[in-house]
Amino acid sequence: MQKLVLATSNKGKLAELRPLLADAGYDLVTQGELGVADAVEDGRSFVENAIIKARHACVATGLPALADDSGLVVRALGGAPGVLSARYAGAQGDSAANIARLLGALEGVPEAEREAHFYCVLVLLRHADDPEPLIAEGRWHGRILAGRRGAGGFGYDPVFLDTASGLSAAEFEPATKNRVSHRGQAIARLRELLGA
Ligand SMILES: O=P(O)(O)OP(=O)(O)OP(=O)(O)OC[C@H]1O[C@@H](n2cnc3c(O)ncnc32)[C@H](O)[C@@H]1O
Ligand SMILES: [Mg+2]
């Protein structure tokens, strides 16, 4: 079976990507398991950052690599935190601080104006010079809650309301989140592109 490096250090993403990629015909290994350090994400768009991360892992390992770049896009904040979602409050990956900053920025903003979406782009590079990377995206539309709800998921999930179900993303069962989320949609598209 062909090995595929997952070019991410985010445990929440890994937990969601693994079952989504099951049966896609790859033997999955994380970049951490192969000793690959995080790439510098200095792109201005999600897709640029996903390419940077996938290429970094490809170059370091000589294996095909899949990267996920994702984030939260809040309309009332002009699209912030966007590509800076992981370090919105400063430190990389401090979800509690990121949520606190987000709720502060939206203080006093009425419910109807708290629209947001999660965005995910997946890039699969079959080798470092792959001129035709596979690129798949997904969006999950909802609203930012006034406070945290639920204990599941990761990142901004406790403050993201799925308006269709009335549940916060952190109140979804993992398999249900994977069916409707930005990442779930991107994987479904990627699997179409792979013919898997
Ligand atoms: O770059 P890698 O190593 O993949 O891990 P990361 O956490 O830095 O990931 P990103 O650069 O793509 O930043 C995306 C951030 O957006 C948030 N995010 C993405 N998908 C999410 C989801 O499904 N639920 C909640 N928050 C999410 C989360 O805070 C992530 O840290
Ligand atoms: Mg990152």
Instruction: Please report the ipTM that was assigned to this predicted complex.
Output: 0.99
Q: Is 118 in contact with 82 (CB distance < 8 Å)?
A: no
| Res 21: pLDDT | 87
| Domain 2-194, CATH number (from 3.90.950.10, 3.40.980.20, 3.40.50.920, 1.25.40.10) | 3.90.950.10
Binned average pLDDT, 10 residues per bin, the chain of 196 residues: 94 94 87 96 98 98 98 98 98 97 98 98 97 98 98 98 98 97 97 90
- Positive/negative CA dihedral, 52, 15, 143, 134: positive
Q: In this structure, what DSSP letter does residue 53 have? A: H
| Res 25: pLDDT | 82
| Res 2: pLDDT | 87
| Res 22: pLDDT | 83
| Res 92: pLDDT | 95
Which of 5, 13, 173 has most ligand 1 atoms within 8 Å of its beta carbon, as the pocket-test mutant?
Answer: 13
| Res 192: pLDDT | 95
| Res 77: pLDDT | 98
Which residues lie below 8 Å from residue 31, measured CB to CB, with a gap of 6+?
5, 6, 7, 8, 9, 57, 60, 61, 65
The one-letter amino acid at 53: K
Q: Which of 36, 89, 98, 25 is nearest to 61 (CA)?
A: 36
Cα separation, 154 vs 151, whole angstroms:
9
Strands 115-125 and 134-144: antiparallel
Cα–Cα–Cα angle for 169, 174, 176, nearest 5°?
75
| Res 196: pLDDT | 74
Residue 119 Cα to ligand 1 middle (Å): 10
Q: Which residues are catalytic?
A: 69
Residue 25 Cα to ligand 2 middle (Å): 26
Which of 117, 156, 179 has most ligand 1 atoms within 8 Å of its beta carbon, as the pocket-test mutant?
Answer: 156
